[in-house]
Amino acid sequence: MRRLLAALFLVVSLMPAFAVQPDEVLPDPVLEARARSLSAELRCLICQSQSIDDSDATIARDLRILIRERLKAGDSDAAVKAFLVDRYGEYVLLRPAFAWHTLLLWAAAPLVLIIGAALSFGLFRRRRAAEPAALTADEERRVEALLARDD
């Protein structure tokens, strides 16, 4: 019985969490698909690393409802995003637009990767170049004496 409960818990915990509540779903499947697409691209302002589509936070629910209301009113996807960016700033976007003020954000990961690769290459090259020096005649005699003593 315990194994069954453990397996059930494991299966349930690995399932993705869908935060969209049944009362939020639009009757029009096209508008609902647009709303889900938009909410997957927007960040929960409390959870920070989750989209509002995945978040159970109250503000995420409010934003999902707001998106659906705007879509029912006839706004385009771009207009809904623009409205939310005007209201909450670019932080609300999970993938911010590429612009001069976000250049560091977009360039940071490739720069860190390039710098890390260059440092690794340099360290490995230096390590390969630093071969151990050959033993002197005196050191060889001492090693021979130690080895002979151990036998």
Does 14 have pLDDT greater than 60?
no
pTM: 0.56
Contact call for residues 46 and 56 (beta carbons, < 8 A): no
CATH topology of domain 15-97: Helicase, Ruva Protein; domain 3 (1.10.8)
The rounded distance, in Å, linking the Cα atoms of 95 and 106 is: 10
The rounded distance, in Å, linking the Cα atoms of 40 and 19 is: 11
Mean pLDDT of the chain: 80
Lowest mean pLDDT among 37-46, 73-82, 117-126, 130-139: 130-139
Between CA 50 and CA 95, with CA 33 as vertex, the angle to 5 degrees is 35
Q: Tokens 């993938």 correspond to what residue?
A: 95
Out of 12-16, 26-30, 75-79, 99-103, give the one with best mean pLDDT: 75-79
Question: How big is the chain by its Cα radius of gyration, in Å?
Answer: 30
